[in-house]
Amino acid sequence: MNAFRFQTVPTVVVEFGAARRLGALLREQYPTGQRVCVVTDGFLHKSGLLAPALADLARHDWQVSVIDDVIADPPEHVVLEAAQRARAADAQIVLGLGGGSSMDVAKLLAVLLPGSQSLQEMYGIKKVTGTRLPLVQMPTTAGTGSEVTAVSIVTTGETTKMGVVSPQLFADLAILDAELTLGLPRAATAATGIDAMVHAIEAYTSAHLKNPISDTLAVRALELLSRNLLSACNDGNHRAAREAMLVGAMFAGQAFANSPVAAVHALAYPIGGIFHVAHGLSNALVLSHVMRFNAPAASQHYAELADVILPTQAAGSDEAKTDALIRHIESLIVETAIPRTLREVGVKQTDLARMASDAMLQTRLLVNNPREVTQADAFAIYSAAF
């Protein structure tokens, strides 16, 4: 066995209704804390979903400042303005409460506030040099796994994104409350669920840092996600399915935090950046096509996943099992009723060349792919997905 390192969040709380006693949970974690900055988005704040959590924070004598202007794929200016507001509030603890974008911004605030390092200096792998403020993450979707990863993605231009990847971004505490995900719309449930499945699949087949702990988590994540995705889509209040999806997304996050994602994400970024398509849907649009491209180099690993997810259907050679796995994932996507082709989200044939060129900029991700991807390959994958 090759030597490996595995890191994750030190404490995870999985509890239905945990948001209703958030103040108490934070008081257990930080007995002498006073000021907490909650990072979220405007919809969640205005919808009232966060009201029980905010009320319990007040009951336990927390002074709360709320930053609620996070948007999907947050641009640099949103991060920097949020940091200014959190600094003005003299935040002691940062709490990310929302989807992946809110949690990503929370991570960056936690490292920006106590130090002098600029955001631009942090882009890349292990570029964060200082410490951070205490950090807690609480997801409201079952998808990104951001609550247990050391990655934060920032939109740096009109269509480009950069990542901050550093162990300082691991939170002290992740709180998973499936009650916060009840009633999530079908399309969002499907897209975020497929996103989590992508994390597990790419972690299991990663060309770099693949390890037995990530493998175990990825397999269990795929079991939970694939078996509960349609139930969660079809019944937004299916508690058991919602809990399984949330835990599955966390397992997938822990897996890819240590065995990183690859070409699916690299090819998804131009879709999101240029056409403003949600990240999970962007991944779903190219997932099966990247898997078919990877099959010559990854069929053994895909077959192993098929054995677990499709024990009664997958049979024969590794290639046959791989085909069965891909067809199963395609059928799941069809049944969720989310868009299946690039043209459905506004992409034109004439856009594919630019997208392929942009995807090649994602070297941090492409290096992890089990098969080398050229610009011509990326164009062919987009063409298949069109």
The C-alpha atoms of residue 298 and residue 296 are separated, in whole angstroms, by 6
Give the pLDDT of residue 140.
Answer: 96
90: amino acid identity, one letter: D
Strands 173-176 and 11-14: parallel
Q: Does residue 314 surpass a pLDDT of 70?
A: no
Query: What is the pairing mode between strands 63-67 and 93-98?
Result: unpaired
Q: What is the pLDDT of residues 125-180, one digit of tens each?
A: 999 998 999 999 999 999 999 999 999 999 988 778 889 999 999 999 999 999 99
Average pLDDT, rounded, for the chain: 96
| Beta partners for residue 95, in sequence order | 38, 136
Average pLDDT in the 89-112 region? 97
Least confident of 51-60, 244-253, 269-278, 346-355: 269-278
| Per-domain residue ranges of the chain | 11-181, 186-385
| CA atoms of 46 and 68, how far apart (whole Å) | 9
What confidence score (pLDDT) does residue 157 get? 81
In this prediction, residue 89 carries a pLDDT of 96
pLDDT in tens, 107-117: 999 999 998 89
Condensed to tens digits (0 to 9), the pLDDT of residues 112-134 reads 999 889 999 999 999 999 899 99
Confidence of residue 289 (pLDDT cuts 50, 70, 90): very high
pLDDT tens profile 33-73: 999 999 999 999 999 999 999 999 999 999 999 999 999 98
pLDDT digits (tens, 9 = 90+) for 298-308: 999 999 999 98
Could you tell me the pTM of the whole model? 0.96
* Alpha helices per DSSP H over 259-317: 263-275, 279-309
At the topology level, CATH places domain 11-181 in Rossmann fold (3.40.50)
Tokens 């989310």 identify what position?
Answer: 338
Provide mean pLDDT across the span 82-105.
Answer: 97
- The percent of residues in the chain predicted with pLDDT above 70, rounded, is 100
Amino acid type, 197: M
Q: How far is CA 230 from CA 108, 321, 333, in A?
A: 34, 22, 9
DSSP-derived letter for residue 42 is H
**Residue 220 clears pLDDT 90, i.e. is over it:** yes
Give mean pLDDT, residues 330-339: 96
CA distance 318 to 324: 10
CA distance 78 to 71: 8
Tell me if the domain spanning 186-385 has CATH number 3.90.870.40: no
DSSP 249: H
Judged against a pLDDT cut of 90, whether residue 280 lies above it is answered with yes
* Type of residue found at 267: L
- What is residue 349's predicted lDDT score, i.e. its pLDDT? 97
* Side-chain half-sphere CA neighbours of 197 within 13 A: 33
Residue 313 has pLDDT above 80, yes or no: no
> How many whole angstroms separate alpha carbon 14 and alpha carbon 250?
10
Tokens of 354: 């630019």
Q: Could you give the CA distance from residue 162 to residue 364 in angstroms, rounded to a whole number?
A: 10
What's the order of all strands across the beta sheet hosting 161-165?
Answer: 124-125, 161-165, 151-155
